[in-house]
Amino acid sequence: MENNLLEVDKLQVAFRTDKGEVVSVDEVTFQLKQGETIGIVGESGCGKSVTSLSIMRLLGRTGLIKKGAISFNGRELTQLEEAQMREIRGNEISMIFQEPMTSLNPVFSIGNQMLELIHLHMKMSKSEARAYAIEMLKKVGIPRAEQIIDEYPHKLSGGMRQRVMIAMALSCKPRLLIADEPTTALDVTIQAQILELMKKLRQESQTAIMIISHDLGIIAEMADKVLVMYAGQVVEEADVFTLFDDPKHPYTVGLMESIPHLEHDSQQKLFSIPGTVPHLHAMPKGCRFHQRCQHATEQCVTQKPPLLTIQGSNGHRVRCWLYQEEEQVVSGYGQNEVIA
């Protein structure tokens, strides 16, 4: 079997706040191979962005990785010094953020910002680096790249800025690209362009991609396997086809039913999940979804469900007591997952 490029094991991330420490991501485990794309889907506050920021170790002063391990290409990221981490960031792992408007520095030209990165990691001469930057801009479909490279970010449209961000992220040929809601701030037609571009570049470079989105449509377009997150935990994990054909967790099912489909004839009521996501300071005991779940039982209220493996599936796992029987049959394996 191929080696995993990235292994995240029982990650727990907490933030220090005025009201004490708050655990925002809990027990997140997944693996990613070279060239594979994993999608992380969930609503705001579910911890999907924090998961990606902890891989980059960009949690700021208040955030810390409390437990768990992040192994990237054989190195343990949680143990690295800041200086070592800086060599990995932008070089081996790079990231595209949601806001192309705010993630470029407005007082430096596009070229200036790209060259800084290329210069830092690729050890090229000035003229080589410039030629390379222009080549990268052309690759992401920026017209008149020779002129655009000397422009400032405000001259570019949102779609163009996101292309520049992608060009920057890919210029050091990273092994892993983290795309945190890369198209959320863009119009649908521009979103389609950016997704096409990412697919094309993925094919050429075999980069592993972690794509984070609240939009199941984007996940279905891009991902090979999917993590569904709710209130800081992974509630379901499966390959993309299994997840969409046979979702198990009541939250995943609810999420899928609440999107208005374009291809369906629907004049009836939309399905909606009642209530709202629980607050981080007041996580319910037991299953974190039980207050909004129509199948909730006594057990769900009091006991935390573990991530159970569905019998006979290829790594389809779900954090729900409804699938308990199937768990008992697959003895042994699932037991390791039980972390109370």
Contact residues toward another protein (CB under 8 A) are: 43-44, 157, 159-160, 187-193, 195-196, 214-221, 223, 240-241, 244, 254-256, 258-263, 265-267, 269-274, 276-277
Q: How far is CA 51 from the centre of its chain?
A: 7
Smallest gap from residue 281 Cβ to another protein (A): 13
- Other CB atoms within 10 A of residue 131 CB: 13
Query: CA nearest 91: which of 173, 7, 207?
Result: 173
The full length of the chain comes to 340
Residue from 296, 323, 293 nearest 310 by CA: 323
Q: Cβ closer to another protein: 68 or 153?
A: 153
Please state the closest distance from residue 128 (CB atom) to another protein, in A: 30
Whether the CB-CB separation of 307 and 234 falls below 8 Å is answered with yes
Identity of the residue, 239 or 337, whose beta carbon is nearer to another protein in the bound complex: 239
Q: Which is nearer to another protein, 161 or 319 (CB)?
A: 161
Minimum distance from residue 264 beta carbon to another protein (Å): 9
Nearer to another protein, 255 or 300 (CB): 255
Cβ atoms of 317 and 237 within 8 Å: the answer is yes
In the bound complex, what is the minimum distance in angstroms from residue 138's beta carbon to another protein?
Answer: 15
Q: What is the largest CA-CA distance in the chain?
A: 68
Question: Cβ 339 to another protein, closest distance in Å?
Answer: 27
Count CA atoms within 13 Å of residue 85 on its CB side: 16
CB of 260 to another protein, least distance (A): 4
Helices (H) and strands (E) in the chain — how many of each?
A: 13, 12
Count Cα atoms within 13 angstroms, Cβ side, for 230.
27
Neighbouring CB atoms inside 10 A of 159's CB total 20
Return the number of the residue (35 or 217) whose C-beta is nearest another protein: 217
CB of 143 to another protein, least distance (A): 9
Nearer to another protein, 89 or 249 (CB): 249
CB of residue 101 to another protein, shortest distance in Å: 12
Nearer Cβ to another protein, position 166 or 216? 216
Neighbour count for residue 271 (Cβ, 10 Å): 12
d(CA 90, CA 176): 10
Contact in structure between 194 and 169 (CB atoms under 8 Å): no
CB of 256 to another protein, least distance (A): 7
Closer by beta carbon to another protein, 33 or else 214: 214
**Dist. CA 328–CA 308, nearest whole Å:** 9
DSSP, residue by residue, 195-210: HHHHHHHHHHH--EEE
Quick one: 66 or 144, whose CB is closer to another protein? 144
Which residue reads 């094309």 in tokens? 200
Helix (H, G, I), strand (E, B) or coil at 280: helix
Name residue 44's amino acid: S
